[in-house]
Amino acid sequence: MTAPITVVGDPRTVDPYAEPERASSVRFLYALNPLVKLGAPLPTMVLLVFVRDLATPAAFVLLSFAILVVGVRFTARLAALLVALPLAAAVVGIGFSIWTDPARVDHTAALLQVGGWTLYAGALETGLATGLRLAAIVALTLIAGLSTTGPDFVRAAVQHLRVPYRIGYTALAAFRFVPRFAYELDVIRQAHRVRGAHGRRGPFAAAARWFGYVVPLLAGAIRHAERVALAMDARAFGAHPDRTERHLVPLRARDLVFTLALWAASAAIFWTFFPRGWD
């Protein structure tokens, strides 16, 4: 009698190209339709282009951060983004304040003077408002970016936006190339390391190492593309106007609730700061 085969360790080591498992639905953003997570913040992002105050984009940054903390799993990447985005907004804001035309803000208080150059309070406020506006737009895009996978977005676009499946599933196949190439690059690096190839140091040795990686990786990509093309032809890909969906990404009531709640919160923020925040 043959004993059953038991896989020990990470199952992804058996199939390194397998699609990642869906995240737990305990965090509500993972359970929403990808198109809703992208489309619901879109009107807000468009309107943020026209605001000029500090409070409105800062409020949307805080709102986006609150949604992310509650809606997705708290990871090191999320923590880094929560810290890096305000810092980036400050750096961009200071940069824009330096480039602001002093003639437009010379009626405000002078904060810093170096030789014949003066940094006015109005220039700093304009620069920080621009940095916060960019940060708010980026933070709203993270709602979809941190909780949506590429395959799910493609499937939702095919099912609900009527994107031709020939285009959608070709893009889906391209998404699957990325983890495969990462795995093959790791294998090539290990093989070069075992053989002691390009073991020297310096910029020329590094360029030689990368050139040694590119050729076998390109050859593997061509072989993989040929196999994918043959598999798609064998399944009559493109022969019919529609195909049966294996993975459904439906629109549910919770998608409508999330959209209405986000729009209501956005409208409240805009209404609060509307008199002094718009040009």
Cα 75 from Cα 165, distance rounded (Å)? 34
Whether pLDDT at 186 is above 80: yes
Local structure of residue 101 (DSSP, 8 states): -
Mean pLDDT score, 179-197: 81
pTM here is: 0.75
Q: How sure is the predictor about 3, in pLDDT bands with cuts at 50, 70 and 90? A: very low
pLDDT, one tens digit per residue, over 18-64 is: 444 444 446 899 999 999 999 999 999 999 998 888 899 999 999 99
Whether pLDDT at 269 is above 50: yes
- Residues 159-181 as b/e (b if ≥16 CB within 10 A, e otherwise) read beeebebeebbebbbeebeeeee
Whether pLDDT at 206 is above 90: no
Local structure of residue 33 (DSSP, 8 states): -
pLDDT, one tens digit per residue, over 215-232 is: 888 888 888 888 888 888
Whether pLDDT at 133 is above 90: yes
- Phi-psi bin for 162: left (phi > 0), alpha (psi -120 to 50), beta? left
